[in-house]
Amino acid sequence: MHVLSRTSRRFRKIALVCAVSLVLPACNENKEYLSSDRPRLNSKVAMRDVTFHSAALGRDMPYRAILSVNLPQGSKLPVVYLLHGGGGNFRDWSNNSDVARFAERGLILVMPEGDESYYTNSAEHPQDRYEDYIVNDLIADVEKRFPVAANRANRAIVGISMGGFGAVKIALHHPELFAFVGGLSSALDVPSRAFSFKRIGQWAHQRSIFGPWGSATRQENDPFALARKADVHAAPYFYLTCGEQEGLFPTNHRFANLLEQRHFRHEFHLAPGGPDWNQWNARLEDLFSSLLVLLGTK
């Protein structure tokens, strides 16, 4: 009979513990993910969760939509796409902010799942075309299912952190699609970040999305490079804000200066606090005020 050595038995035990530790946290996270879904709604708005097939990603993807329950017959409404940050999901905006109340003002709010993609077509994984998923698949599905005014003048995109990067970059790539872009604590420097031993896991993940340092794909997804060559007259209106205690503040300030130098229509606000939902939620009234003025509904 074969007898395992002490070393072999020890390695098998370690492997079993590791396997269990990988499964159990995932189970716990899934339970927490579902049990913590507590959207901040009121009686004047309705929420709908949708799952649809994305051709760009080759798989089904979820998104959440919020709109007023009192819609005039035959009405067509502006739509705002709200992109979550890193480590988040499509439920974040509805659960962590009071954004749902702005649906009362005649807007449809759409919150897609972005995973950890930076809303970018991956350089190393051709099946992860997240920008194409947003601009082609998601918009088409939303306009098929909901009473959307399907034109640039009635379309906005807003994001926080990773989502702020995605919103700004997508709007610069597709100025024909969006009249308004909002970025809160936007991670605008990600494609230009150098290698760091302290964040080697994060760096490797970002490299898989944006490609090697100095590559064409990094330049093509760098908001600074895009803003330098963009047609200012065709660009959307920019609303940017960042907390004064954030490491991202210098980057956002530098980007706002670039917009100023090139005479983009924009506003930039310094907010108290750090990168958290308390700060972001406090900026929403001002952000949506600027959006509604642009739409001509305020």
Structure tokens at 25: 């946290």
The mean pLDDT of 180-205, rounded to a whole number, is 86
SS3 165: helix
pLDDT at 117 over 50: yes
Domain 42-295 sits in CATH at 3.40.50.1820
Tens digits of per-residue pLDDT, 132-179?
999 999 999 999 999 999 999 999 999 999 999 999 999 999 999 999
| Measured distance CA(62)–CA(64) in Å, rounded | 7
The mean pLDDT of 64-73, rounded to a whole number, is 94
Least confident interval from 4-8, 268-272, 287-291: 4-8
CB 223, CB 168: distance < 8 Å:
yes
| Measured distance CA(223)–CA(211) in Å, rounded | 16
CB 230, CB 258: distance < 8 Å:
no
Mean of the per-residue pLDDT values for the chain?
88
SS3 271: strand
**Predicted local distance difference test score (pLDDT) of residue 6:** 38
Neighbour-count burial of 282, counting CB atoms closer than 10 A to its CB (0-12 exposed, 13-18 middle, 19+ buried) = middle
The mean pLDDT of 252-272, rounded to a whole number, is 97
SS3 138: helix
| Measured distance CA(78)–CA(76) in Å, rounded | 7
Structure pTM? 0.87
**Predicted local distance difference test score (pLDDT) of residue 163:** 98
CB 66, CB 45: distance < 8 Å:
yes
